[in-house]
């Protein structure tokens, strides 16, 4: 599991005693994800998640986000007014794995889903595709008090191809010297459409392989 940023003194000063709660929320969620992955590997012979990463939003990014929304850049609003102080990204092999994993997340005991956005079925205008979930996750390490001390957790699920596109788009977005930004936007959108087509083709290939394997396992096909 990859952590995208290290917690610094800036985050400790900003989040204060809520920092270990944010870290605990991520740890609790990831332990459930690992159990889901282990169960699927054992029962189905494949892992629905090929990589995951987690981060606590940096103090600088959180302050900037709150100021853009016209909110005081403090810990209280960071934990109550926005939902991505703690975040996890799950990278799945195929689109169907994204939806099945999201369904299993909904069934985790004690989890409540505040909202979901399906940017796979309904991509953003720039071509961004991903599945977003905002959860309230119980802090079981606090015992009985954990049910009353839930924090927001933002979860993003996407395929390998979607993640590749998003990473490149994120990098290019912050480039200052781009000769033709409109051309770049069109090309990114075109690449996103091609990636979506590739994901669909890969899912179809998987279905065809599974149908062939099932056919050979039946007595009719052995004759």
Has residue 179 got a pLDDT over 90? Answer: no
**pLDDT confidence bin for 125, thresholds 50/70/90:** very high
Asked if the model's pLDDT at residue 219 lies above 60, the reply is: no
Q: Strands of 36-109 (E only): list them.
A: 51-56, 86-92
Is a pLDDT exceeding 90 seen at residue 202?
Answer: no
pLDDT band per the 50, 70, 90 thresholds, residue 65: very high
State mean pLDDT over 206-222: 63
Structure tokens at 19: 């920092």
Instruction: Tell which wins on pLDDT, 204 or 94.
Output: 94
What's the rounded Cα separation, in Å, for the pair 26 and 7? 14
Please give the pLDDT value at position 51.
95
With a cut of 60, say whether residue 26 has pLDDT above it.
yes
pLDDT over threshold 60, residue 37: yes
Which tokens go with 4?
Answer: 């995208």
pLDDT for 118 beyond 60: yes
Between CA 82 and CA 152 the distance in angstroms is 8
Q: What is the CA radius of gyration of the chain?
A: 20
Give the CB-side neighbour count of residue 158, counting CA atoms within 13 A: 23
Global pTM?
0.84
Bridge-partner residues for 135, per DSSP?
A: 113, 153
Return mean pLDDT, the chain.
87
| CA torsion, ordered 189, 193, 194, 198, to nearest 10 deg | 140
pLDDT of residue 153: 95
pLDDT in tens, 180-201: 777 878 888 889 999 888 888 8
Identify which of 102, 82, 81, 78 has the alpha carbon closest to the alpha carbon of residue 90: 102
* Contact in structure between 51 and 118 (CB atoms under 8 Å): no
Number of C-beta neighbours around residue 158 at 10 A:
24
CB-hemisphere CA count at 13 Å for 145? 3
* Confidence band for 215, pLDDT divided at 50, 70 and 90: low
pLDDT of residue 84: 95
What is the pLDDT, as a whole number, of residue 61? Answer: 95
Query: Any idea which fold 2-162 has?
Result: Beta Polymerase; domain 2 (3.30.460)
Separation in Å, CA 153 to CA 2, 24, 84, 114, 156: 17, 11, 6, 10, 10
pLDDT surpasses 90 at 16: yes
Question: Residue 24 above 70 pLDDT?
Answer: yes
Mean pLDDT on 95-108: 95
């Amino acid at each position: 599991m990859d952590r995208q940023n290290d917690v610094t003194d800036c985050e400790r000063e900003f989040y204060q005693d809520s920092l270990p709660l944010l870290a605990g929320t991520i740890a609790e969620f990831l332990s459930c994800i690992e159990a889901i992955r282990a169960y699927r590997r054992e029962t189905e012979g494949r892992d629905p998640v090929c990589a995951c990463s987690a981060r606590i939003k940096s103090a600088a990014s959180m302050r900037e986000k709150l100021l853009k929304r016209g909110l005081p850049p403090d810990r209280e609003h960071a934990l109550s007014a926005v939902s991505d102080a703690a975040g996890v990204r799950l990278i799945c092999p195929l689109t169907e794995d994204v939806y099945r994993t999201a369904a299993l997340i909904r069934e985790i005991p004690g989890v409540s889903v505040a909202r979901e956005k399906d940017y796979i079925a309904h991509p953003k205008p720039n071509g961004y595709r991903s599945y977003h979930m905002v959860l309230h996750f119980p802090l079981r390490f606090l015992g009985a008090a954990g049910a009353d001390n839930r924090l927001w957790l933002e979860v993003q699920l996407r395929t390998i191809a979607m993640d590749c596109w998003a990473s490149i788009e994120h990098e290019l977005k912050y480039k200052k010297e781009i000769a033709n930004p409109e051309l770049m936007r069109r090309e990114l959108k075109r690449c996103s459409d091609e990636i979506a087509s590739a994901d669909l083709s890969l899912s179809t290939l998987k279905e065809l392989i599974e149908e062939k394997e099932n056919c050979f396992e039946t007595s009719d096909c052995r004759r």
